[in-house]
């Protein structure tokens, strides 16, 4: 098996069995990613630094050391700051920005022995659903290079799907791990808000932003999540909970379950609002087929309702821009990144710097956010959105009285053509199924569920209750043990 054909767990096993070295795998992937630059997935690489990390992992492996991630390559969404590799958030504002420190998520994966191959393209400040908003060009979907990979973690999803790297980090504010994972036929998990530290994650909407892994399988995601999660005193919203071994939890059998029916007794709620008439028939068929597989494994499907699903779009597109307008005020030409070359006075410097540094979607959101927070509109928009956000979270709790997990599609369609969706509102509407869990702060996953129109991948979304990532990963793993949706690769990969 060629190194790029192996996932995280397989590479780990091969390394510990000394069948291959981390340096060999790293070299192979470095060559591969330079050959596949047309995908636009990578924004920065440092081959020598990666080789040095691989050599040090090999030295530890030779001494018999061996955590599951030691020597396994990874790449990071360019929203995480990294020492030694430029951190841009996909924005001209931060082009070439050198961070003096590593984000906690990056530091923890490095401590676990992972080899950093580079930084991955994303929508500017993680604003988007197609990776068409990056200042450094779009990312192409490896299943069909004329199509988008989803966003905002589009570089992460494309790199994993194209087998340039076995796993990547991403962030999800309103769907940015789940939706690109779905569009690229890979597995991704956004944990409960507070599970992964936001320290060193360039902020978009702080009450929603959450990091998580994208990989080929639930097992690989579980391995990464165990290492990257956990309390961090440097993030004021980090959940103070003991570290969790998601991999062990994923493997633990359910009480009363058998090998043939590992999900016996698991109740999966299907919100009727997640299957509207407007849902593309190909997406619905793939999602229903995956649900039928889960039923074969012992799960029971129950009807539930999330009555405010449609409202999650206006609520999110008020709250997220409001927080973004505040977070992005720090980019003023003084503290970080870009500063206009010519200006008359301080105010002119601010104006020119921000006009030059930010792209159109970021400007649009700063204007919306400033508007909804302004005196006279705050009560009508921002406060109202916050009230509805609470009701959306309560709706989920009502559902969890009759089910353990919630399932539905990740997105209403498969990945669209690059350049086909010019209207920002169309992009916002396509977030309908991922926004509710984000607003509620709940963990959500995208699991490959076969393909829909044009042979493009479809993702099944699973949402759990707070801190129930283990149950999500367990169900996804059971599905992946019994089916091969997750191991399908784009043609020629």
Residue in 104, 173, 244, 461 binding ligand GLN, rule: CB under 6 A: 173
Q: Which DSSP state fits 407?
A: E
- When asked if residue 169 is in the footprint of ligand GLN (CB under 6 A), the reply is no
CB of 152 vs ligand GLN, minimal distance in Å? 4
- Closest to ligand GLN by CB, 196 vs 320, is 320
Residue 342, burial from CB neighbour count under 10 angstroms (0-12, 13-18, 19+):
exposed
Which listed residue (91, 152, 153, 156) is catalytic? 152
- Alpha-carbon distance of 42 to 54, in angstroms, equals 19
- Closest to ligand GLN by CB, 173 vs 446, is 173
Q: Determine whether 206 is an active site residue.
A: no
User: What residue is closest to ligand GLN based on CB?
Assistant: 176
- When asked if residue 294 is in the footprint of ligand GLN (CB under 6 A), the reply is no
Residue in 71, 149, 174, 262 binding ligand GLN, rule: CB under 6 A: 174
Q: Which stretch, 134-142, 172-180, 243-251, 352-360, contacts ligand GLN (CB under 6 A)?
A: 172-180
- Closest to ligand GLN by CB, 204 vs 274, is 204
How many separate helices (H) and strands (E) can be counted in the chain?
16, 11
Candidates 173, 199, 83; CA nearest to 434 is: 173
# binding residues, ligand GLN (CB under 6 A): 13
Q: Determine whether 238 is an active site residue.
A: no
CB of 126 vs ligand GLN, minimal distance in Å? 4
- When asked if residue 176 is in the footprint of ligand GLN (CB under 6 A), the reply is yes
Which listed residue (21, 77, 92, 156) is catalytic? 77
Residue in 211, 250, 320, 407 binding ligand GLN, rule: CB under 6 A: 320
Q: What SS3 string covers 238-275?
A: CCCCCCCCHHHHHHCCCCCCCCCCCCCCCEEEEEHHHC
- Closest to ligand GLN by CB, 45 vs 427, is 427
CB of 189 vs ligand GLN, minimal distance in Å? 14
CB of 320 vs ligand GLN, minimal distance in Å? 5
- Closest to ligand GLN by CB, 320 vs 392, is 320
Stretch 128-157: interaction string toward ligand GLN, x if CB under 6 A? xx----------------------x-----
Between the alpha carbon of residue 206 and those of residues 128, 172, 247, 441, 451, the distances in Å are: 16, 11, 28, 12, 34
Candidates 246, 214, 216, 241; CA nearest to 230 is: 241
- When asked if residue 172 is in the footprint of ligand GLN (CB under 6 A), the reply is yes
In the Cβ-directed half-sphere of 396, how many Cα atoms lie within 13 Å? 26
- When asked if residue 82 is in the footprint of ligand GLN (CB under 6 A), the reply is no
User: Taking CB under 6 A as the criterion, which residues in 181-220 touch ligand GLN?
Assistant: 204
Cα torsion 393, 396, 400, 405 to 10°: value is -110
- Alpha-carbon distance of 339 to 357, in angstroms, equals 8
- Alpha-carbon distance of 475 to 493, in angstroms, equals 27
Which listed residue (156, 176, 446, 483) is catalytic? 176
Residue 371, burial from CB neighbour count under 10 angstroms (0-12, 13-18, 19+):
middle
Alpha-helical segments (H) within 20-125 = 22-35, 47-62, 104-111
In the Cβ-directed half-sphere of 120, how many Cα atoms lie within 13 Å? 32
- Closest to ligand GLN by CB, 125 vs 485, is 125
Matching residue, tokens 């801190």: 467
3-state secondary structure of 335: coil
- Closest to ligand GLN by CB, 8 vs 205, is 205
CB of 127 vs ligand GLN, minimal distance in Å? 5
Tokens of 488: 């399908």
- When asked if residue 313 is in the footprint of ligand GLN (CB under 6 A), the reply is no
3-state secondary structure of 167: strand
Residue in 105, 114, 126, 263 binding ligand GLN, rule: CB under 6 A: 126
CB of 106 vs ligand GLN, minimal distance in Å? 18
- When asked if residue 431 is in the footprint of ligand GLN (CB under 6 A), the reply is yes
Contact predicate 297/479, CB 8 Å: yes
- When asked if residue 127 is in the footprint of ligand GLN (CB under 6 A), the reply is yes
Q: Determine whether 176 is an active site residue.
A: yes
CB of 210 vs ligand GLN, minimal distance in Å? 9
Residues that bind ligand GLN (CB under 6 A): 126-129, 152, 172-176, 204, 320, 431
Q: Which residues carry out catalysis? A: 77, 152, 176
């Amino acid at each position: 098996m060629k190194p790029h054909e192996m996932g995280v767990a397989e590479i780990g096993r091969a390394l510990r069995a000394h069948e291959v070295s981390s340096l060999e795998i790293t070299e192979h992937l470095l060559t591969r990613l330079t050959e596949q630059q047309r995908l636009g997935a990578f924004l920065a690489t440092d081959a020598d630094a990666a080789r040095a990390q691989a050599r040090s992992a090999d030295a530890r492996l030779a001494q018999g050391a061996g955590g599951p991630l030691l020597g396994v390559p990874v790449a990071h969404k360019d929203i995480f700051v990294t020492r030694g590799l430029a951190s841009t958030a996909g924005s001209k504002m931060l082009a070439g920005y050198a961070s003096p420190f590593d984000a906690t998520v990056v530091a923890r994966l490095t401590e676990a022995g992972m080899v950093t191959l580079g930084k991955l393209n994303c929508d500017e400040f993680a604003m988007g659903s197609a990776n068409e908003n990056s200042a450094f060009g779009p990312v192409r979907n490896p299943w069909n290079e004329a199509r988008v990979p989803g966003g905002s973690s589009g570089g992460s999803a494309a790199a994993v799907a194209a087998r340039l790297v076995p796993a990547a980090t991403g962030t999800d504010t309103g769907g940015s791990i789940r939706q690109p994972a779905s569009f690229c036929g890979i597995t991704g998990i956004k944990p409960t808000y507070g599970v992964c530290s936001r320290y060193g994650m360039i902020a978009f909407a702080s009450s929603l932003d959450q990091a998580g892994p994208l990989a080929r399988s639930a097992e690989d995601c579980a391995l990464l999540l165990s290492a990257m999660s956990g309390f961090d005193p440097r993030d004021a919203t980090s959940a103070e909970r003991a570290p969790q071994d998601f991999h062990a939890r994923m493997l633990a059998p359910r009480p009363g379950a058998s090998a043939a029916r590992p999900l016996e007794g698991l109740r999966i709620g299907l919100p009727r609002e997640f299957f509207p008439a407007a849902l593309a028939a190909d997406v619905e068929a793939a999602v229903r087929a995956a649900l039928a597989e889960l039923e074969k494994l012992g799960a029971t499907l129950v009807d539930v309702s999330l009555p405010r699903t449609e409202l999650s779009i206006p609520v999110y597109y008020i709250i997220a821009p409001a927080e973004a307008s505040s977070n992005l005020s720090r980019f003023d030409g003084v503290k970080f990144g870009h500063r206009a070359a010519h200006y008359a006075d301080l105010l002119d410097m601010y104006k020119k710097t921000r006009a030059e540094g930010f792209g159109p979607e970021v400007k649009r959101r700063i204007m919306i956010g400033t508007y909804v927070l302004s005196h006279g509109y705050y009560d009508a928009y921002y406060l109202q959105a916050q009230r509805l956000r609470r009701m959306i979270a309560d709706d989920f709790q009502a559902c969890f009285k009759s089910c353990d997990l919630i399932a539905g599609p990740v997105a209403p369609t498969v990945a669209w053509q690059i350049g086909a969706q010019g209207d920002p509102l169309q992009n916002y509407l396509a977030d309908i199924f991922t926004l509710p869990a984000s607003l509620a702060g709940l963990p959500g996953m995208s699991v490959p569920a076969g393909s829909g129109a044009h042979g493009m991948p479809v993702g099944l979304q699973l949402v759990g209750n707070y801190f129930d990532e283990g149950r999500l990963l367990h169900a996804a793993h059971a599905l992946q043990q019994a089916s091969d949706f997750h191991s399908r690769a784009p043609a020629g990969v």
